Amino acid sequence: MPSRCNRRDVNWPEDDVIELLAQLDFLVAWPQESSCLLTEDQRKEADKKIILQLSEKIDGKYTPRQVRNKLLSLYAKGDTTEYYKTNFSIVFRLGSSEMRALDDSTRERVKDRFEQLHAWIPRTKRSSSKRPTPSKPTVSPTPPAQRVHKRRRKLSRTPRYQTQSRTVTPCNTSPKRKNNSKQISRTSPSVVITPIKQEGSTFTRPHVDSLPEWTEVGDSMEEDSHRSSSGEPPANTLLTPDTSRFDYPHTTVREVLKPPQPITRIMLDIQEHEDLMHELSYFRQKWEQAEVDIEQLKRESREKEALTAKTHSASFSFEAEIKRKNARIADLESQVSRQAFLQPYLDLESGELNAETLEEIRSKASVLAKRIAAIDLTSGLEYPNEEEITIEWSSGLVELVNPALSHNVHGPVHRINDLIDPNIPPQRFIQALIGAAVCEKVFRQKFKCIEMMSTSLLDEYRNHVAAACDKNVLRSLDFASHRSVIRNDQFQNIVLPRKAKGLAERHLEILAPFIAEKEKAECTEKLRWRLEGIFTIALNLKVLLMTTKDMFECIWPAPGSDFDVDTMETARPRRQEIDQYDQTESPRVVLPVTPGLRVYSHDRQMVDYNGFRKVGDHVDGQQSVVAKSMVYI
């Protein structure tokens, strides 16, 4: 059975997480070499060493990989950006303070555990079995009893829990003090004491190269407790002016000798930076609003002075004049907004579509094709039996089948095989019928509604505008008026959905015999919902096309015609369709599904509520394909 360290996903207990974060803060708390002086490879190696040390600190319960994954998951909860893996290395320099998802209770426990680890730091290196040769062999060392006596006498001068300042005070230059320094240097042969001269005094400070190495906390405490119980003095306890005289020092010799690290950009708190930016933005908005209020007060003050001089301080006349001026201001603001809306239409000169309108047409045509193609996923559709065919139903079906399949059937049909090949799935046949309905009942028909009804008064307005202005101005105003009606919320939320619902119900009656009896209720609701969405998109596309100066044409290929790559695309991936045929034969259209759109450069003078080319119309403008027709081959 695999051990816990070898498991891929490990559930970390909360105590282990606290220990991991405390050990991480403990390792990164000591002054280190600035990360800006390290290369990328050196920084990665340093991070790996910290991970290995963390794995050892927690008694090897987790592998280095599991330790890294746990730290990454804790950091990722607070960094929601996509670069959290790149920013993760900051944890190995700033510790758990960068893990912003930690709650306050967890941080307090990590802080308490960190203080415990900090208090257990040994002050000197544990004595080794083999002692090195003293630096001054000519001077005999002080006997152990005398050293213990001096150390006890020195510690008794300072209270046990009294804290000392980090500032180093020069020692007294008396001969007795110098003699103590010599004795201390003889008692610790592993540490070289170098005198540092200052003005008026001389004291000793340990050299950086001779600092004792850090040892395990547990071993040092066990050895100290063993010596205290047996009556032996502590091993190599060095006392200098920089060494604290209580059990757990607040600073170390390394911190005293190490110069202060420069505050780099990476050490700044990102959250504080964001808070400052939010506050700056907030007060900037307040300042801008205050500027507007000041201008408003100045304007009101000038108006008040003018009205006071005009009305001679009469209250009734004063209020009436204010209301009149406010109404005039509102009227002028409305005129300015209307001029801004009409300006793009008054600048139209060429008959070509602009890029924004063309992109909107292509987007709506793509949505229409996707919704018609989604009918292929509807279950519960099948061909009707001959007993279910009635004269009324077959007459409505013929109206859709003739344009869909390019048939010329007149009168009712008594057999479904007379209209369509039964080898074609019923879902595809219904797709073709709906596509033909969109082409014939929406695109090639005039759009009529009460909101766009032509009246005698409206015609007189047009005649007067055409007489007073140019015809181009009348055309631009006509297009602008229709587009303002189309963009109205009432037209988009009430008029178009109402017309789409009527078209959907009408064609749902024609398609009702294709629905199986077992799933009739569910399939009818799904089909009604899909038809309403299809006709809503088709009507949106219709009103958008009829308010342009160009002429459009429906692309509806006939079954059996050659497949044209420029105007057609397959409902499935083309490679999947063409593989069914011989490479020497060109593929042919089996069934059209959605109509395509072709645009001709045209100069339409007024909105004719159609916008599509009629059969037999001749257009000489430049043509291009806006949307391809979807077919099965």
The stretch 528-557 carries a mean pLDDT of 90
* Contact of 542 with 496, CB cutoff 8 Å: no
| Gyration radius from the chain CA atoms | 45
The H or E element spanning position 593 is strand 591-594
In single-letter form, the type of residue at position 279 comes to: E
Q: What is the pLDDT of residue 270?
A: 66
Higher pLDDT, 337 or 418: 337
Backbone angles phi, psi at 562, to 5 degrees: -70, 150
Looking up tokens 């189309």 gives: 486
Q: Give CA–CA dist 124/369, Å, rounded.
A: 80
Residue 225, judged by CB atoms within 10 A of its CB (0-12, 13-18, 19+), counts as: exposed
The H or E element spanning position 509 is helix 496-511
Backbone angles phi, psi at 353, to 5 degrees: -75, 140
- Cβ count within 10 A of residue 300: 11
- Cβ count within 10 A of residue 84: 14
Q: What is the pLDDT of residue 532?
A: 92
Backbone angles phi, psi at 191, to 5 degrees: -120, 130
Which residues are CB-contacts of 503 (< 8 A; sequence separation ≥ 6)? 437, 441, 442, 531, 535
* Contact of 443 with 612, CB cutoff 8 Å: yes
Q: Give CA–CA dist 584/177, Å, rounded.
A: 109
pTM value > 0.85: no
Q: In what order do the strands lie in the sheet with 623-627?
A: 551-555, 596-600, 623-627
Q: What is the pLDDT of residue 182?
A: 42
Question: pLDDT tens-digit profile of 460-485?
Answer: 777 777 777 777 777 877 888 888 88
| pLDDT class of 291 with cuts at 50, 70, 90 | very high
261-to-35, 206, 257 alpha-carbon distances in Å: 11, 21, 12
Q: Give CA–CA dist 253/166, Å, rounded.
A: 10
- What's the per-residue H, E or C state across 328-355? HHHHHHHHHHHHHHHHHHHCCCCCCCCH
* Contact of 546 with 377, CB cutoff 8 Å: no
CA nearest neighbour of 244 among 167, 329, 353: 167
Q: What is the pLDDT of residue 249?
A: 44
Burial per residue of 200-220, b for 16 or more beta-carbon CB atoms within 10 angstroms, e otherwise? eeebbbbeeeeebeeeeeeeb
Instruction: Please say if the pLDDT value at position 214 is more than 90.
Output: no
Instruction: Please say if the pLDDT value at position 535 is more than 80.
Output: yes
Higher pLDDT, 573 or 508: 508
Looking up tokens 């001779």 gives: 210
Instruction: Please say if the pLDDT value at position 220 is more than 50.
Output: no
Q: Give CA–CA dist 20/63, Å, rounded.
A: 12
| pLDDT class of 350 with cuts at 50, 70, 90 | very low
In single-letter form, the type of residue at position 70 comes to: K
Do β-strands 629-632 and 201-206 pair in parallel, antiparallel, or remain unpaired?
A: unpaired
Least confident residue range of 159-173, 490-504, 516-530: 159-173
Looking up tokens 């602008």 gives: 480
Mean per-residue pLDDT of the chain: 72
The stretch 95-105 carries a mean pLDDT of 86
Question: pLDDT tens-digit profile of 175-201?
Answer: 444 444 444 444 444 444 444 444 444
Cα-Cα-Cα-Cα torsion 86, 87, 89, 94, nearest 10 degrees, comes to: 180
Q: Give CA–CA dist 595/151, Å, rounded.
A: 101
Do β-strands 629-632 and 568-570 pair in parallel, antiparallel, or remain unpaired?
A: parallel
Least confident residue range of 420-424, 541-545, 598-602: 420-424
The stretch 515-539 carries a mean pLDDT of 89
CA nearest neighbour of 211 among 172, 179, 252, 260: 252
Q: What is the pLDDT of residue 155?
A: 44
Q: What is the pLDDT of residue 415?
A: 62
The stretch 609-623 carries a mean pLDDT of 79
* Contact of 51 with 91, CB cutoff 8 Å: no
43-to-37, 50, 59, 578, 590 alpha-carbon distances in Å: 9, 11, 25, 57, 65
Instruction: Please say if the pLDDT value at position 128 is more than 60.
Output: no
Instruction: Please say if the pLDDT value at position 148 is more than 80.
Output: no
Q: How far is CA 67 from the centre of its chain?
A: 28
Instruction: Please say if the pLDDT value at position 150 is more than 50.
Output: no
| pLDDT class of 367 with cuts at 50, 70, 90 | very high
Higher pLDDT, 312 or 553: 553
Q: Give CA–CA dist 276/496, Å, rounded.
A: 49
CA nearest neighbour of 559 among 429, 372, 434: 429
